A and B are shown apart, each in its own frame.
Chain A
Amino acid sequence: MTIQHSVYISTDKVIVDGKALELTEKGSALLTQIYRSHIGDYPKFFKMDTLCKLGFVASELLLNSEGNRNFEPREDRAVILFNRNASLQADTNYQSTIQDSENFFPSPAAFVYTLPNIVTGEIAIRNKYYGETSFIVIEENDEKLMEQNLSVAFQDTDTKSIIGGWLDCTDEEHFEANIFIMEK
């Protein structure tokens, strides 16, 4: 297995294939800045919760770096991501719509993001990936454990490459992505 490209995003830092991008914003504004300066043609971005925004911009930078994007349907690429907090930011946001019994208006647009694997679906939709998508929650950001779980995914003989790695978010301003393309 080989790692082909990598993207790291934290609250105040963006690194693509080892090179830092010059961006001025922090936190949620940083994600919007990446979207506006490097993507810009996917208004659904603004509807996403923070985990999906993070995963979306990180995967876009990763795939732009890989190059030759044609958005043709493919089944040989999996998307398998890991984190510690599952969909906590979206969960907290949805809970706020039902917390007060006097002001009880459960929001479907908030509820739909209360699953960590929605981000793997967003990436699959954007890129027409019909392959495996999966989300695994572990208590620690443990590279060995992730590698073990990614390497077994190639036992699906259709899977030739994986967008994998860490994608975690505690609230709108605090997050970390460390994702890569892994080839068989």
Chain B
Amino acid sequence: MKVAVIVFPGSNCDRDMHHVLTDVFHLESQLVWHTDELPKNIDAIVLPGGFSYGDRLRAGVIAAHSPVIKDIKKMAERGMPILGVCNGFQILVESGLLPGALLKNTSLNFMCKWTEIIVKNNKTPFTNKLKLGQRIPIAIANGEGRYYADDKTLASLKKNNQIVFTYAEEVNGASLDIAGICNKAGNVVGMMPHPERSAEQIINPNNSKPASLIFESLLNTLGVTA
């Protein structure tokens, strides 16, 4: 079982994600440069956080035109589990794989802090080991993390069970307090908070178990027994 972690110019959570996948959850993972072809035998894809292209023009918009995105779209159609975290979520939105947009936080500042999110959909490849309504203590760190969509899109997100996580407190002015969503099929998930910063007890000031279930869900999806 192999996970590709895509590296764009300016990605900076790629090594963190790789460490957690490989060293903590013992999944084989490989860093893939954005101009390289996707390796043949992969089973899941992660787009990590960071500042691809220095957030120029708009966060994620340039990376959404990287050569690798075409391949990722193909994999998405085939139902492969794909997770975008923080800048990775922004890239998924900019590439059209997920609906909506990510705007500047209402604080107008970059915000790095710990908060809690609530599981709203536990049918995705990244949440199937979590309980509905379960709270996850998790780290956030972004300047443009405020999820926004028009009313029509929000209604369809609700109808199709595409809201995966919401914040347990008011964080950044996001529509419906959305912290993460998925596509209609449910295999492509994007989230602003950082599960890879939250799944090890030594660096999580609260409880790391719920965040680790995000990775254990992936193991479960891929049929790996922990």
Q: Do the two chains bind?
A: no
